């Protein structure tokens, strides 16, 4: 099956070889996406083939990404695949979260069960495999977060050298710790995110380093598998709503592309609606969605949110994401720091847990239910993007009533669960437990 890169800009649509090392369209600067020949795809046959692969022990079949390789066909030879058995993430019922949001039922697709604890692994297995295919020896990204952790793991697993660039003094310790442990060379540069991105592009060109930043079209291809696996787990019955947090909007782009492909190839008979939730201090996509003409995104100069995974002022994938939200008749909402913090505690009380950015989903469902956009009996899947242990500092502060918003105001710890210091005294402890 043949694949190509195609420019996403409808006025351009230039095509390039799948093995060209490109990050944007050389003609117009537009985003690129992988396109493939759909001839001969038989939905019924693939559904049963994919189901049968769940019982097999080979690397590709055990991966929750490569199990669906017929719809991620950019490699002509799968011997270059690097897999840590990513994907395979569960659908979990959250009854307590549902009643919190005022809906009958909510199901979480928990991407925090991935090898490095976030959905970035679904994409990184593809990006790293493409780097191997291209004969690259070094890969790089600019990120202090889950992308670094994931890239470091997949590059090292593939025998590539991972190189991470982070703005000096802007470090997220939990995620940085993973990158260091997985062997990434880490540079803290005295410049801001955008300046470093420009620097890294120069270095990538000069030194032949492959960039695995969030517009990498192969990462987007891999993230489509979140939707493929979700639909497979639901026996191909699409929900009414798929709710996800939006930062750089790569995941929104991937979900929309996956849904379009499944729908046009006959795997599903209707399109679920995408609801993208942003933090109010970093909500340029929400502002764009509110604007009457939907034409141009205005970047937020100083994005602020404790949900660091979605602390993005200038989301690179917005043109794709806008197209996908429109195509699914979806919506975009924003939520406050307080709403995220309380929703997160509710997800925790379900026995599920997630990192702050992921909790924007439940906060968003609350808001969309209250506004009458989501019906109380809607069939809802909320995608939890990252693991609860990514940000333990946030959790400890919330439960001990010390969590401050970026503007310095103390947040209410509405559902605080404080540890109790107590003497070594059984009578005293028994009394406390009887309360």
Ligand X SMILES: *Cc1c(COP(=O)(O)O)cnc(C)c1O
User: Is residue 257 a contact point for ligand X (CB under 6 A)?
Assistant: no
C-alpha to C-alpha distance for 4 and 425, rounded to whole angstroms: 70
Structure tokens at 365: 């469902």
Q: Least distance in Å: CB of 29 to ligand X?
A: 20
Instruction: Determine if 319 is a binding residue for ligand X (CB under 6 A).
Output: no
Closer residue to ligand X, CB minimum distance, 41 or 212: 212
Q: Is 60 in the site for Zn ion (CB under 5 A)?
A: no
DSSP state of 302: S
Closer residue to Zn ion (CB): 29 or 266:
29
358-390 CB burial, b ≥16 within 10 A, e <16 = bbbbbbbbbbbbeeebbeeebbbbbbbbbbbeb
DSSP alpha helix (H) spans, 134-291: 146-158, 173-181, 193-207, 217-233, 250-264, 284-290
Binding window for ligand X (CB under 6 A); candidates: 9-17, 46-54, 62-70, 242-250: 242-250
3, 5, 6, 7: residue in contact with Zn ion (rule CB under 5 A): 7
Alpha-carbon gap, residue 320 to 230, rounded angstroms = 21
Among 1, 2, 15, 27, binds Zn ion (CB under 5 A): 27
State which of residues 63, 125, 146, 413 lies at the interface with ligand X (CB under 6 A): 146
Q: How many CB atoms lie within 10 A of CB 115?
A: 19
Q: Are 243 and 364 in contact (CB under 8 A)?
A: yes
Q: How many whole angstroms separate alpha carbon 256 and alpha carbon 384?
A: 17
For 61, phi and psi rounded to 5 degrees? -75, -30
Interface residue with ligand X, options 172, 178, 283, 385 (CB under 6 A): 385
Q: In the set 69, 109, 110, 120, which binds ligand X (CB under 6 A)?
A: 120
Q: At what angle do helices 146-158 and 173-181 cross, to 10 degrees?
A: 10
Stretch that binds Zn ion, among 13-21, 120-128, 225-233, 382-390 (CB under 5 A): 13-21
Of 3, 5, 6, 30, the one binding Zn ion (CB under 5 A) is 30
Contact string (CB under 6 A) for ligand X, positions 61-100, x = contact? ----------------------------------------
- Separation of alpha carbons 344 and 337, rounded Å: 11
What minimum distance in Å lies between the beta carbon of 296 and Zn ion? 17
Least Cβ distance, residue 427 to ligand X (angstroms): 45
How many CB atoms are located within 10 Å of the residue 315 CB?
Answer: 26
Q: State which of residues 249, 282, 325, 368 lies at the interface with ligand X (CB under 6 A).
A: 249
Between 255 and 267, name the residue whose CB sits nearer to ligand X. 255
By CB under 5 A, residue 9 contacts Zn ion:
yes
357 close to 281: Cβ distance less than 8 angstroms: no
Nearest residue to ligand X on Cβ basis: 386
- Residue 357's binding partner, choosing from Zn ion, ligand X, none, with beta-carbon cut-off 5 to 8 A by kind? ligand X
Tell me how far apart the terminal alpha carbons of the chain are, to the nearest angstrom: 66
What residues line the site for ligand X (CB under 6 A)? 118, 120, 145-146, 214, 245-252, 309-310, 355, 357-358, 385-386
Residues making contact with Zn ion (CB under 5 A): 7, 9, 12, 14, 25, 27-28, 30
């Amino acid at each position: 099956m043949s694949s190509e890169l195609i420019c996403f800009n409808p006025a351009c649509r230039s095509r390039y070889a799948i093995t060209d090392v490109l990050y944007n369209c050389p003609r117009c600067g537009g985003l690129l996406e992988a396109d493939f020949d759909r001839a001969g795809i038989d939905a019924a046959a693939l559904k049963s083939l994919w189901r049968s692969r769940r019982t097999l022990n080979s690397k590709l079949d055990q991966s929750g990404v490569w199990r669906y390789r017929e719809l991620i066909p950019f490699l002509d030879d799968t011997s270059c695949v690097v897999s840590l058995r990513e994907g395979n993430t569960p659908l979990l019922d959250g009854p307590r979260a549902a009643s919190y949001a005022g809906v009958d039922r909510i199901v979480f697709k928990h991407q925090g069960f991935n090898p490095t604890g976030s959905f970035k692994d679904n994409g990184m297995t593809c990006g790293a495999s493409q780097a191997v295919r291209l004969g690259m020896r070094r890969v790089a990204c600019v990120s202090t977060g889950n992308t670094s952790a994931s890239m470091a793991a997949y590059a090292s697993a593939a025998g590539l050298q991972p190189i991470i660039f982070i703005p000096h003094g802007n470090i997220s310790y939990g995620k940085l710790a993973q990158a260091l442990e997985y062997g990434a060379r880490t540079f803290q540069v005295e410049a801001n995110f955008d300046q470093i991105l420009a620097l890294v592009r120069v270095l990538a060109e000069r030194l032949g380093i492959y960039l695995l930043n969030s517009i990498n079209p192969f990462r987007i291809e891999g993230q489509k598998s979140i939707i493929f696996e979700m639909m497979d787990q639901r026996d191909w019955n699409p929900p009414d709503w798929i709710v996800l947090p939006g930062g750089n909007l790569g995941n929104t782009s991937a979900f929309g592309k996956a849904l379009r492909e499944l729908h046009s190839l006959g795997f599903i008979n209707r399109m679920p609606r995408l609801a993208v939730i942003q933090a109010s201090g970093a909500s340029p996509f929400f502002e764009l969605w509110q604007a009457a003409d939907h034409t141009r995104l205005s970047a937020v100069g100083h994005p602020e949110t404790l949900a660091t995974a979605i602390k993005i002022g200038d989301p690179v994938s917005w043109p794709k994401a806008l197209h996908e939200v429109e195509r699914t008749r979806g919506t975009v909402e924003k939520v406050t720091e307080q709403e995220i913090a309380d929703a997160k505690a509710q997800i925790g009380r379900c026995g599920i847990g997630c990192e702050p950015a992921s909790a924007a989903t439940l906060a968003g469902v609350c808001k969309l239910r209250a506004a009458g956009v989501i019906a109380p009996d809607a069939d809802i899947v909320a995608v939890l993007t990252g693991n609860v242990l990514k940000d333990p500092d946030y959790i400890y502060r919330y439960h001990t009533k010390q969590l401050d918003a970026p503007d310095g105001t103390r947040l209410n710890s509405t559902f605080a669960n404080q540890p109790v210091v107590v003497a070594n005294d059984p009578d005293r402890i028994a009394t406390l437990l009887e309360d």
